[in-house]
Structures are given as structure tokens and as C-alpha cells.
Structure 1
């Protein structure tokens, strides 16, 4: 009897039990995964005696053993092992790592992954390898359960509500984690409001802080903020494609207009490939950025531990590409050790620039297939939306740089040379619209500079990007609409294409809702922060600047944030949330569906202007 015949006999023998065994295995997997995540939170969130640590680690070893057994059972019950290995190669690799670690720990008393990071100087990484493995296994289990579950497909929820809910869940989880005692250097735990503020700022990739990220949070706390920035940034750029991909959640033709607020219309029905490109593209940009920053840090600060430089590089690469603006440096890049590190500034600026362009634009520009077609057929060009984003972004960057050079020449740039002034002006022009990093002290800037800065923050970055604001596409359509009215044109035209009226209406609606939210926020802050303004420590323009920065999810501040009252912090939290998910998204999420719009009343003339 050969191996194939033996395999066939085994398959026939276990066939009847396959469905029931795998179903119970999935149920137990879910319970074990939830329990292990709870244990991990307890393990890393609190201080423990050695006896408790040993017990918790023993539990994690038991869960790893279960995952290994689960994988082996799935292999046995799969009648095509070769296809199974190809389909689950990454999970198989991690299971292999678990086995190697188990053997290493039981025979040598150490974990291979932890030893590897310790050898390269990343001492603070000790124990965190288990987090990566546990989280990944939990994702695998969730995917398996999704395939088997009949509950999720019955959920009927429109994209705007789902989009808002995902951020609320992320903010809530982040708040809970940041309140754990081991996340901060202070005694006890972080207050709920400050934890919620920090979690919202990180999840909404804003960057406003009420405590210093570098000195107040431990490595664990900074790691949580890093994950929140990554998930928050990915959520906005991948949500449209993800929702369209899982259309069984009740997303049909009636929701296509909502999806088009997140991705190009042509991408709605090709979301499977787009989602993969977004995730891979994000990781590529961030890893390249991490590598370059690490090389610069090793050159500039060779005495620092490699692990510290590596985490610094990863943190700032993720923060920059996701336009988050968080930094582990006290005072940000205005710190005396980084203020004149101009090469680092340029690298960070480039990451911010590409992150703010939007993945639809990046994929349209750099997709291999599209590039080949444009080389073969020179008359083919990128999408109109891509060209509008590129031209508008470059124009704003140039104008912003010039504005800084003019208005800060005798102020912030007084001690800078020509090249240094240009680099600093360019950096601020790029980061000011979207990210919130600073190489200058905004509290000392001239009033005209602050006013211009607020305009640039309000415009923001491109659609389907990690940036905030009303978006460059909205701003461009508003300018083109005004130009068409002046020229008495019946249609809005750009690059020999006509912009539909419903797009124009959305642009004006976005503008009005954004202005309304900001105005309400300014009025609310002026009431809640009366004592702060009366103390003459800060001016009204500082309060206005703070609100615009929060709504546009930029994160630049003149120093007001940490001095806000509890009510003021709550107002800023709400502004960051609304600014992140988008004003129209909030309105769509809260509004009821209109039965019909297929009617028209008689026209009526009105005086305008």
C-alpha cells in the first residue's frame, strides 16, 4: 500500500466527522484567542510578581500548543494538503516559528525571536514577539469564522455608518489600552479624558497631544500609539475597497455613491486587487522610510542603541506616511538635537507628501500596467482626479513655501541661511496641510503666517489619503466653479472633461458643513476657554488655530492643547472625530434614507450677490 492509498483510506475514515470537528475547533479557537488576548493585555498592562508572570507565560505556551494542534488537525482533514499549504503558507510559517520557539525555550531556556532582537540591540522588544504572533493568529481565526458564520452576512449597514463605527471602536480600544498602568511612567493610570484624547488623536491621525509622547508614555504606550496610527491611517485609505469587497454586508448599488466618496468609481468593482495594493503599498513606503531614517539616525547618533534607533525610525515613518504628526521627541523636530537635521526633515516631508496624495492617485501614477500603456500610447493620460490632485498639491506646496519665506524671513527664519530657509519653508508647507510635524515654534509665528496656515490646513490633502481637511479635489472644484461663473460657462470643465453637477453640489456641501462645524467649535471653545483667554497666556487666534488644526486632523498647535479645560478637550475630540470621518459621512450616517428624489418643482429666479 503506497502513501496515496493510505491517505485515501484515512480521508474516508474521518470524512463523516470533518464538519463537526472543524466547527467545534473554530468555536474553541475563538474562545482561546479571546482569552489569550485578554491575558496579553493583563500581562503587559500591569506589574506582576514573578510567580504570576510564570503562570501567565505558561498559559500563553498552552495557547501556542493549541494553535499548533489546530493547524495539524486542519491539515489532516484537508483532502488536498499541497493546496492547503499554498493557501496557508504564512500561517504555516508562523506555526513553524512557534514550534522552533517552543523547542528553544524548553531546551535552551530562551525564545529565538526575542534573542534575535536582543542581539541586534533592541532590548525593549523583549516579550513583544508573542503579541505579533497572537494578534496574527487571532486574525486568522476571525477569517476562518467569517467563512463559516451566517451572522455577519445578515448585517445591513450603510458604508458611512460602518466607517464611523470602525473609528469609534478603534478609539475605544485605544483609550482602554492607554489607561493601563504600564503604558505610562506616571503612578496609577492615565485619566480617561486624556487617554480618550490621545487615542482619538492617534486613531484620527491628528497629532494633537495633552501630554508629551516621548517622556510620558513607556515603550508599551508608544507601541499602542504606533498601532493606532497605523490602523487609523489604513482605515481611511482602505475602507472603500474593503467595503466594496465585502458587499455581502448590505452594500449594494444604492450605496455606490457613498463608496465613491472613498475611492474612484472605477475601483468599486475591482476592490479585491485594490485592497491588496493599498496594504502592500503602505508597508513598502513605511519600510523604505524606516530604513532611510534608521541609516540617518545611525550616522547622526551612533552611540544610541540600535533598537532605540530602529523603533524611532519605525515610529516616525508610520507617523509621517499616515500624516499623524506624533513624535517620540519632546518638542517634536523643533528639539535642539533635531532642529537642524535637515536631511531627516526632507525624508519625513517626502513620506508625508506621498501619504497625502492618496492611494488612488499613487496607483494610477505608478501602476505597472498603466505606465506601460502610457508609454505605448502617449496620448493616454492619468485620470482627471489624479491630475487635479497632483497640480493642486504641488501648487499649494509652492505657495506655502513662498508664504513662509516672505512672512517669517525676519522672524522664525532670522538665523537661517537661504538653503536652510527653503528646506524649512518646504517642510512646513508640506506638513502643515496634513501631518503636524514642526521644525518651528508656532507660538512665535506672525499673525499672517498663522492665518495662511489655517487656510492650508482647512484645504488638507487628497481624497482617499491619510490627510484631513476638505481635500484638494473639493478645493479645486470650488475654484473651477467660481472660474466658470466668472467666465459665464454653463459647465465646469477641466482637462477637456466636464464635472457633473452632483459632484459640484457635494463640494459645496462639504465646504458648508466644514465651515459650520469649525465655526461651532470656535464658538464652543471661546466659551469653555474664557479663563484661558482672559489670562492673556493665549490669544483668541490660538483657540481658532487649535480648532482648525483639530478638524483638519493636522495636529499643529501654538501650545494651547495641554492647557485646555475638560470641556475644551471634549470639543477638540469631537472635532478630530468629525474631521477624520468627514462631515458628509457623519451627515449621511445620521440622516434617514429619502424615499424618492425623482421629482422637480417649478424653477424660480432669485437675486445672488
Structure 2
């Protein structure tokens, strides 16, 4: 018996050693294969150099498949059957990809996906997924760094911006090359889901460059930590208490045990909305506007993701105001509702999902006599109610205002249906989306002022959008009304808003004005020839990660571009988050001074 016990111990130790070695091997091979992917498609290779790159790229796929096979052989299948099944699929996919690269199969079928060979698209997708899987496992070790959650949040965006800048600087990413500052600006705009551009996304960037931009605002919209943590949890199969505490504030989840399931819901909801958006856009858009089905499919995918992430990027030179696209009102409506779903905030969506799920399951149990009727608890908390009602009010104000102020301007000559859709889209898009279905230069001055307000307020907390946030604006209004009524507290929906919330709202508002004020000053200082209203509009748009512009973005000087770049980053991560991240916290005060009033009025 002792021999058997020692033998099992030795087997386990040997198995652990193999798994540890294989872990580093897989990381190395995933990095190598992804690097070869970038080298192959990022540079213009010819002759022998292209042949060597092709061979090494194909060979790396076989080594990756071998590494995953070893992992499956030494791990316990009973531990997680789902993960084991996924890894089997990965091995088969890698072997299939290698066979495609070596020419054993032909999947061309004369099909092109916006100029990219379908076979290469399949292979590159598989390699990218395996790279993300291995990269994601490293995210679970982020708690070992001497960084607090706000610092990790900020640095994750900075790292992603640097990666994006490098990818956009590759020779095959652009048609005529790109400068350092333009690559930095474009990458920041994509990662921070802003949409301001200094180069034409349609004509200046290749298909590879457009895919890079789309990937950046997809990851930046949800946050890199959301993606990496999800894949890391799934494939590593375990996560520590430190990991859960680290991510608790990041995804706005109160229950620490529900963090992993919240991540799943966020990813599933995102994929579901974007997939439905792709199908609707693909079927509603006029096919005659595209040279091929592949172009039409890529247009649908790009704009669905851009809308949900509130990015505002478009593959059209004039945006949705492009000739032929400006009358696609059904597509505009689809994009508007996708924007709203992306900007309403995941806590609100998950709250209503829990409520509807509870009602559905409860109704079935009552219907089939499994149990008696039980009262459904209140799922829509004060945060959800405040956000939804504020959003509806802002959309209504924007819609009515647009109809009034633009009736003799951009709405002239449109059909009744066209006017309604354009006005509704005009109320939605300044809330951090950034698409334009009209000529921005033709907007009336009152509309520009309304846009400044809507851009400043922005989307809701926990969403893909930026801005002040709807809840912050609502709390500020409620506080003002409470003071006017002579109340000593702020009450709404039979609840009292905490003093901490009021202080945060005041701080966020003050910091937003400070950043916007400094931004306008810096841009006007470095570009004195620009109109003040145009500059203010640009800075508001950058801070609230909107992406709308009155046409001055490409005219900005290098210093102004750097200023706007910093403003976009501050607007995405939050000015208060930056202060919390880098200012040392005070110890708990065990004393309290006497209160005294300060003259305000």
C-alpha cells in the first residue's frame, strides 16, 4: 500500500511538472504564432521571405495543437468537462488551420471577405483566439502587482493604446503610411471609444487597419480586464479570493461570489446584441451600395460593434451621411437602439434580466402547480430607476429640441418618416455614440448648444459610453431641487441618497469643467485660427468620448492632437478615478471637528 501511495504521489508530481512546463510552452508558442500573424499581414513580404514566414506560421500551429494535446492528456477530465471539450475543439481547429496553411484543403470558393482570403480569415481567427486565451490567464496574476484596482484600470487602457498604436503603424495597416502622433491619436480614439479621426478610416486605412481599429474599440468598450478575466477564469478553472476582490469594483458587482457569472452575462449580452445588430443591418441595408456580399457583411459587423461600444467609427468617408446611406432610415433606427443598449449600462440590463427571469420561472411553476404564487421582490433599485428615467427624459428633450431647431435646416426636404428618424437619431448619437446622419457643419447654433449639454452628460455608469454619466447629472439636479425646497437631505423613490454619493457627484462635475476648460484653453492657444465654438465642441466631444466634430479634427496641430488625446483618455477612465488611483488615501479619522457654515450666497 505504501508503494502504491508513493507511486501515485510521484505520478501527480510528474503530472504537475509536465503541466507547468507545458504552460510556458503554450504561452511562448501562442506569442510566436500571433507575432508571425502580425509579421505576415503587417508587412509586405515577397519571395523567399514570404515563403519562410508562411512555413513558420504553419509550423507554429502544429506546435500549438501539440501543446493543447499534452494539456488534455495530463489534466483531470472530470474537473471541468466543458473546458475539456473546448480544448479538444481548439486542438481540432489548430490542426485544421495548419492543414489549410499547408494546402491540404481549399476553402477559397472564390469567396472574399472584404478583400481578405476566406481561408486566411479562418486561420487568423483561430490563432488570435488561442493567443487571447493564453494572454487572459496572465490577467489573474494582476493582483500580485503592487497596484490598486483604479491603477490597473488606467494602465490597462494605456497598454492597449500603445499596442494599438504599434499595430496601426505597421506598413500594411495604412495605404500611405501614418505618423506617430496620428497613430497615437487614432489608437486612443478607438480604445476610448471616442470616434474622432485625423485620417479617413475608409480610404487611409486598409482592411487590416480597419480590423485593428474595430478590435480596439471592441476591447476598449468593454474594458480589457473584462475580456481577459473572463477567458482567464474559464480556462484556468479557478480564481482566488484576491482575484474576485480585485474585479468586484471593476464590473460593479455587489456579490463577490457572482463575479464570474456576471462576466459571463456581460460577454453573452454583448455578443448577442452585436450579432442581432449584424443580422438586422445586413438584411435592411441596400445591397446595391456594396461591391460584394463580403463588403456588406463587414460593414454590418463594423457598425454593429461600433454602435454597441458607442465608438462612432464608420467605414464610410462621410459617416452615415454618405450618399446612398443617409436615406437608410431603418438601419439608422437599428443603430440607435444598439447605441441605447450599449449606453444604458450593464447593471441596468442585468437587473432587468434577473427580474424577467424570476417572473418567467415563477409563472411557469405557478402554471404547472409546482408551487404557489410568491411576491416578486423589487429588482429595479434606485440606481436602475434613476438611470432609465433620466435616459428617457434626455432622449425626449433631445428629440423634441432637434425637431424644433432643425426644422428649417438639416430636416428640410426629408419625408415625415425621415424627419422623425433623423431627429431621434440626433437625440441618441450625442450621448457618446458619435455617428452622424446629417452634415454637422449645417447644424444650427441652438442644436450645437443642445449637443454640448447631451455630450457633457453622456451615457450611464457601467456602460460602454463616457461623459459625466446620467446618474451624476440626475443626482446634481435632485440636490439642487432639495436645497431650493429647504430640505436637509436628498430623497427619491422613498430613499435618501447618501452624502458620499452627493460628494462624488460634485467632484465629478467640478473635475469635468476643469478638464474641459484647460482643454479648450490649450487648443485655442496652439490653434488660435480655429473658431471657439468649434474648439469647445471638439473638447466636449473628446472628454465625453462622443466622436462628433464640426470638422476641425484634421486641422489640429501636433500639440492640440496630444491635448485631445489626453482628454479622451481622461474622459474614458474618469477624472475622479485618476485622482483616487494616484493620491494616497487618508487613514480613518477618529475625530470630528465642530461644524461651521461657509458663506455661499
Give TM-score, length-normalised by structure 2: 0.90
Q: Is 1:155–1:249's contact at 8 Å kept on the other side of the alignment?
A: no
Task: State whether structure 2 residue 324 is matched by structure 1 residue 337.
Answer: yes
Distance 1:429 1:180 in 2: 38
How far 1:152 sits from its partner (Å)? 4.7
Aligned 1:27-42 pairs, distance under 5 A: 27-42=24-39
* Structure 2 counterpart of 1:211: 199
Q: Could you tell me how far apart the structure 2 residues matched to 1:16 and 1:429 are?
A: 63
Distance 1:306 1:574 in 2: 39
Residue of 122, 127, 144 corresponding to 1:154? 144
Using a 3 Å threshold, how does the CA distance of structure 1 residues 69 and 331 change in structure 2: closer, same or farther?
A: same
Task: After TM superposition, give the deviation of residue 398 of structure 1 in Å.
Answer: 0.7
SS of the residue aligned with 1:213? coil
What is the deviation of 1:93? 1.0
Q: CA separation in 1, counterparts of 2:596 and 2:227?
A: 41
CA distance in 2, matches of 1:491, 1:145: 46
Structure 2 SS opposite 1:266? coil
How far apart, in 1, do the equivalents of 2:311 and 2:387 lie?
20
What is the SS of the residue equivalent to 2:254? helix
Aligned with 1:88 (options 84, 87, 100): 84
**Whole-angstrom distance in 1 between the partners of 2:57 and 2:225:** 34
Distance 1:239 1:50 in 2: 38
Deviation at 1:141, TM superposition (A): 3.0
Change (3 A) 1:120 1:34: closer
Deviates more, 1:211-220 or 1:38-47: 38-47
**Structure 2: how far apart are the matches of 1:381 and 1:86?**
31
Q: Match of 2:385?
A: 387
1:293 aligns with 2:281: yes
Q: Assess, with a 3 A threshold, how the Cα gap between structure 1 residues 84 and 498 changes in structure 2: closer, same or farther.
A: closer
Q: 1:408 to 1:37 in 2, by over 3 A?
A: same
1:492 deviates by 0.9
Match in the other structure for 1:557: 549
Shift of 1:325: 0.1
For the pair 1:512 / 2:510, whether they are aligned, the reply is yes
Residue 96 (structure 2) pairs with residue 100 (structure 1)? yes
Q: Quick one: which of 520, 523, 527 aligns to 1:522?
A: 520
- Which of 552, 567, 578 is the matching residue for 1:575? 567
Tell me, in whole angstroms, the C-alpha distance in 1 between the residues paired with 2:138 and 2:599.
61
Shift in Å, 1:268: 4.8
Query: 1:487 Cα deviation (Å)?
Result: 1.3
More divergent stretch after superposition (518-527 vs 136-145): 136-145
User: Matched residues in 2 for 1:500 and 1:551: separation?
Assistant: 27
Mapping for residues 371-386 of structure 1, pairs under 5 Å: 371-372=359-360, 377=375, 380-386=378-384
CA RMSD, 1 decimal: 2.8
Q: Structure 1: state its 5+ residue gaps.
A: 1-7, 534-538
Q: Which residues of 2 match residues 531-542 of structure 1 at below 5 A?
A: 532-533=529-530, 539-542=531-534
Aligned partner (choices 128, 132, 135) of residue 128 of structure 2: 135
Q: Secondary structure at the match of 1:88?
A: helix
Aligned residues: 580
- Give CA-to-partner distance per residue, 1:243-299, whole Å, 9 cap, x none: 9996755885xx89xx65x554634552111111001110110011011111123x4
Cα pair 1:324 1:436 within 8 Å, conserved? yes
1:590 aligns with 2:582: yes
Contact 1:325 1:435 in 2 (8 A): yes
Higher deviation after alignment, 438-447 or 130-139: 130-139
1:475: Cα distance to partner?
0.5
Give the secondary-structure state (helix, strand or coil) at the position aligned to 2:491: strand
1:178 maps to 2:168: yes
Deviations, residues 499-541 of structure 1 (Å, cap 9, x unaligned)? 11101110111100111110111111110111x23xxxxx210
Q: Secondary structure at the match of 2:429?
A: helix
1:384-427 alpha-carbon deviations (Å, 9 max, x no partner): 11111110001100100111111111111122233321210100
What's the offset of the Cα at 1:66? 1.1
Deviates more, 1:160-169 or 1:596-605: 596-605
1:224 aligns with 2:212: yes
For 1:21-420, what aligned pairs fall within 5 Å after superposition? 21-78=18-75, 80-81=76-77, 83=79, 86-103=82-99, 106=102, 109-110=104-105, 112=107, 115=108, 119=111, 123-126=115-118, 127-142=120-135, 152-186=142-176, 189-235=177-223, 238=226, 260=249, 263-264=251-252, 266-297=254-285, 299-301=286-288, 304-367=291-354, 368-372=356-360, 377=375, 380-420=378-418
Q: Distance in 2 between matches of 1:14 and 1:378?
A: 53
Q: Is the deviation greater in 240-249 or in 34-43?
A: 240-249
**Aligned 8 A contact 1:160 1:588 in 2:** yes
